[in-house]
């Protein structure tokens, strides 16, 4: 009963919307925060007679379809029975509730105008934009403004003037390592549109799979995909679906490394003789295409000619990262080519390859995009650098005249918390870059690498954190209030679920499967204390392949676990405030009591569920360290001080609890440690584990990847090796 009450309380805190509070009037529940928001008096009341007219030369089929989707969502959310004419008759006429006006149809291309102005009064709604794409962005803002309260269904009176900060706001979806069916891609495109992202970077070829039908070279998809690839019709379907939402689709075909799936069917492309098989594991592998043979470039010219016709975006990504160069060095003919042409190493040989690729793509009307490794002075400044190395590398490229986008700090597969991504800015105020070079920083992309996700779990790794990243790319630089971001993110998350995204609902389904039971409340409480291990530790702790199950507790757990985060915030507030805030004190007690009692509710499930046995000891640790936390709270609330003898065994217990199991780590260890140390007072400040420069994470055994920093090369950086 207690678990259900807490679940109900948590649900109440993340309702779709809430009455507008005065202290939050500037941002309301909008994400991304608009450029300018002026809140007026009163509100527009939405009723069953709500109607929309679309006007202007930009009244395109795309805009009409967008208005139709907006009406459908509004009707579904509010349960209002709109008349059929509301959906079907969008012509200009008298007496409509809302007018949408666009001056022209927009192009789905970099730099298109996405600005809009949204005005809401008690009499009605007006949305104006230069392009139909800008109007689509405004429709998403309107949907976020809809409020259900005691007045009914309302939209607050407001005037919003909005435009994006950066023109390139992307999400990369990796369909190579684990194939993502079309419906998965489409629902994530809907999520992208809801938070005003405008580029889907589609990673379609890597060592584990070649995912596009190719007419010229059919063995690419026939032999390199295990039969899991997109037909040309499906590719066009996704591109059209994205374009309807004002989203570009940029494909990536990784070369010259990450090339195993290329050479399975065409071993003559490779730098070493075959045969080759699709790679089933994760890591950096040796197969590379041979950059010294003219036949390689003839093949690639034909291939990219076909892809240039299929994908209509101006940009095409060639990857260019993580080439070990080993197969080049082991080939006598390639070494001879390097010597004849004066190439000192394989890096210089890759520069030659990149130059040839740029010429090929330019010949097919495409601008080349690649990871940091492709940057070289010989390439024209028309190319775009996607930086995994960081802002310094991005600024260096911009200073040399190259446009770039930032992905360092936005690797959402690394399970880092939302605020880490949110505070990572492509162009912070103190960026050491000239105003002219800053114009060449186009924006950024969140990257969803797919080693450890499948169609069932990928949404939970993308959302809702990517909504906060989208705000960083869209909103003004000064929008950085982390607490308000989390407040709004809770609401946005449920809106995204309403679009069909599965990040919220799949967890309980996965838990039911794990325990073969219906009541998963206690399991859900447990998962609120843990998160999957971060950075590249999952690949270090257990070997995975493309056939490994992604159905375990670690897969049901979510990044940035909200209960653990809220507990940490409560403890921080108590310590900072001297334990005088009774509300925070009771909140901290409630969490600790819940967690202390929860293991008993799980014991029977652990006995009957072998798949959960790997995390049973974590659940026991949660109970035991919560008991220590409760004891520390009572000592502090009573104004007393604990002894060192009381502290030491409890710190030892925390160190042991910090050890990951089942590729999960406890997220409540650090705040409980802080409680224990404060309970001992100043005399405990020099105790091992309590020192100001020592964290419990440092005291625990290390699970770092074997390679660190640039030595790990590119975006993959050694995971699973």
β-pair type (152-162, 36-45): antiparallel
Residues of the chain with pLDDT under 70: 1-27, 683-684, 693-721
Q: Which of 280, 131, 112, 287 is nearest to 198 (CA)?
A: 112
Local structure of 120: helix, strand or coil: strand
Catalytic (active site) residue 322: yes
CATH number for the domain that contains residue 472: 3.20.20.80
Residue at 719 is within a domain = no
Q: State the SS3 of 626-655.
A: HHHHHHHHHHHHCCCCCCHHHHHHHHHHHH
d(CA 468, CA 242): 21
pLDDT at 17: 34
β-pair type (315-319, 199-206): unpaired
Which segments of 155-285 does DSSP mark as H helices, in order? 182-194, 219-223, 232-244, 260-265
Token pair of 524 as six digits: 């859900």
pLDDT at 145: 97
Token pair of 301 as six digits: 């010219």
Residue span of the structural domain in which 311 resides: 168-498
pLDDT at 27: 63
Residue at 11 is within a domain = no
Name residue 404's beta-bridge partners: 385, 441
Q: Residue 71: is it exposed, middle or buried by C-beta count within 10 angstroms (0-12/13-18/19+)?
A: buried
Whether residues 174 and 86 share a domain: the answer is no
Whether residues 110 and 96 share a domain: the answer is yes
Last residue of a domain, one of 132, 162, 192: 162
Local structure of 529: helix, strand or coil: coil
pLDDT at 19: 34
Whether residues 174 and 226 share a domain: the answer is yes
Q: Residue 695: is it exposed, middle or buried by C-beta count within 10 angstroms (0-12/13-18/19+)?
A: middle
Whether residues 444 and 390 share a domain: the answer is yes
Express each pLDDT in 596-633 by its tens digit.
999 999 999 999 999 999 999 999 999 999 999 999 99
d(CA 601, CA 379): 63
β-pair type (124-131, 147-149): unpaired
Whether residues 423 and 459 share a domain: the answer is yes
Residue at 718 is within a domain = no
Whether residues 223 and 330 share a domain: the answer is yes
Name the DSSP class of 62.
Answer: H
Whether residues 284 and 374 share a domain: the answer is yes
Residue at 5 is within a domain = no
Whether residues 310 and 177 share a domain: the answer is yes
CB-based contact 353:256 (threshold 8 Å): yes
Whether residues 158 and 191 share a domain: the answer is no
Q: In 10 A of CB 434, how many CB atoms?
A: 12
β-pair type (199-206, 248-255): parallel
Residue at 585 is within a domain = yes
Residue at 330 is within a domain = yes
Candidate list 322, 471, 497, 504, residue with the active-site label: 322
CATH number for the domain that contains residue 123: 3.30.379.10
β-pair type (116-121, 152-162): antiparallel
CB-based contact 468:434 (threshold 8 Å): no
Last residue of a domain, one of 162, 197, 232: 162
Whether residues 437 and 544 share a domain: the answer is no
CB-based contact 443:453 (threshold 8 Å): no
Residue at 298 is within a domain = yes
Q: State the SS3 of 168-185.
A: EEEEEEECCCCCCCHHHH
pLDDT at 688: 85
Last residue of a domain, one of 122, 138, 162: 162
Q: State the SS3 of 265-318.
A: HCHHHECCCCCCCCCCECCCCCCCECCCCHHHHHHHHHHHHHHHHHCCCCEEEE
- Structurally, the chain folds into a number of domains equal to 3
Express each pLDDT in 455-495 by its tens digit.
999 999 999 999 999 999 999 999 999 999 999 999 999 99
Residue at 522 is within a domain = yes
Whether residues 246 and 230 share a domain: the answer is yes
CB-based contact 381:401 (threshold 8 Å): yes
Whether residues 390 and 290 share a domain: the answer is yes
Q: Which long-range contacts (CB under 8 A, 24 or more apart) does 324-327 make?
A: 324/257, 324/284, 324/285, 324/286, 324/288, 324/713, 325/288, 325/349, 325/350, 326/286, 327/270, 327/271, 327/272, 327/286, 327/287, 327/288
């Amino acid at each position: 009963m207690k678990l259900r009450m807490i679940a109900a309380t948590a649900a109440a805190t993340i309702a779709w919307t809430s009455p507008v509070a005065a202290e939050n009037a500037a941002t309301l529940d909008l994400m991304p925060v608009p450029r300018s928001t002026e809140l007026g008096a009163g509100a527009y009341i939405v009723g069953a007679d709500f109607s929309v007219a679309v006007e202007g030369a930009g009244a395109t089929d795309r805009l009409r379809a967008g208005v139709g989707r907006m009406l459908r969502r509004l009707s579904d959310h509010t349960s209002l029975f709109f008349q059929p004419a509301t959906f079907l008759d969008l012509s200009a006429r008298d007496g409509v509730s809302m007018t949408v006006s666009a001056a022209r149809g927009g192009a789905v291309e970099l730099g298109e105008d996405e600005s809009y102005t949204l005005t809401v009064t008690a009499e009605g709604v007006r949305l104006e934009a230069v392009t139909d794409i800008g109007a689509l962005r405004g429709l998403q803002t309107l949907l976020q403004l809809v409020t259900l309260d005691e007045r009914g269904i309302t939209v607050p009176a407001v005037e919003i003037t909005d435009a994006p900060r950066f023109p390139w706001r992307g999400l990369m979806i990796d369909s190579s390592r684990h194939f993502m069916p079309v419906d998965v891609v489409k629902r994530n495109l809907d999520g992208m549109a809801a938070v005003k992202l405008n580029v889907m970077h589609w990673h379609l070829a890597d060592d584990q799979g070649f995912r596009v039908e190719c007419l010229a070279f059919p063995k690419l998809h026939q032999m390199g995909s295990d039969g899991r690839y997109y037909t040309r019709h499906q590719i066009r379907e996704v591109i059209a679906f994205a374009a309807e939402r004002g989203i570009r689709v940029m494909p990536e075909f990784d070369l010259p490394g990450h090339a195993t799936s290329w050479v399975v069917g065409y071993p003559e492309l490779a730098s070493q003789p075959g045969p080759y098989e699709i790679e089933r594991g994760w890591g950096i592998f040796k197969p590379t295409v041979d950059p010294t043979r003219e036949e390689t470039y003839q093949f690639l010219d034909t291939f990219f000619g076909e892809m240039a016709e299929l994908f209509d975006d101006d940009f095409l990504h060639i990857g260019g990262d993580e080439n070990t160069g080993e197969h080049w060095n082991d080939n006598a003919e390639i070494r001879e080519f390097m010597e004849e042409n004066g190439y000192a190493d394989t890096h210089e040989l890759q520069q030659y390859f990149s130059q040839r690729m740029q010429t090929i793509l330019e010949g097919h009307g495409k601008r080349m995009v690649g990871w940091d490794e492709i940057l070289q002075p010989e390439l024209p400044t028309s190319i775009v650098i996607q930086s995994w190395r960081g802002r310094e590398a991005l600024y260096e490229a911009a200073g040399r005249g190259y446009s770039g986008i930032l992905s360092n700090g936005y690797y959402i597969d690394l399970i880092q918390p939302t605020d880490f991504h949110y505070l990572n800015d492509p162009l912070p105020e103190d960026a050491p870059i000239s105003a002219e070079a800053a114009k060449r920083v186009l924006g950024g992309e969140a990257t969803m690498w797919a080693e450890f996700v499948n169609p069932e779990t990928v949404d939970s790794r993308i959302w809702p954190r990517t909504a906060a990243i989208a705000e960083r790319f869209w909103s003004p630089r000064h929008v950085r209030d982390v607490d308000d971001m989390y407040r709004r993110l809770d609401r946005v998350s449920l809106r995204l679920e309403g679009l069909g995204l599965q990040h919220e609902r799949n967890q309980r389904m996965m838990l039911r499967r794990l325990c073969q039971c219906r009541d998963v409340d206690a399991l859900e409480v447990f998962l609120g204390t843990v998160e999957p291990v971060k950075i590249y530790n999952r690949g270090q702790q257990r070997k995975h392949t493309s056939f490994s199950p992604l159905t375990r507790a670690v897969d049901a757990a979510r990044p940035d676990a909200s209960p653990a985060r809220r507990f940490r915030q409560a403890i921080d507030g108590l310590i900072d405030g001297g334990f005088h805030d009774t509300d925070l004190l009771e909140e901290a007690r409630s969490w600790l009591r819940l967690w202390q009692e929860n293991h008993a509710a799980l014991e029977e499930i652990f006995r009957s569920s072998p798949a959960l046995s790997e995390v049973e000891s974590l659940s026991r640790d949660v109970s035991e360290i919560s008991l220590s936390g409760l004891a520390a709270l009572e000592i502090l609330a009573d104004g007393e001080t604990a002894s060192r003898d009381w502290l030491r065994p409890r710190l030892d217990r925390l160190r042991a609890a910090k050890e990951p199991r089942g590729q999960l780590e406890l997220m409540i260890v650090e705040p409980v440690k802080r409680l224990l140390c404060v309970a001992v007072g100043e005399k405990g400040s020099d105790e091992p584990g309590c020192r100001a420069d020592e964290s419990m994470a440092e005291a625990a055994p290390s699970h770092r990847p074997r390679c660190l920093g640039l030595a790990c090369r590119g975006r993959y950086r050694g995971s699973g090796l």
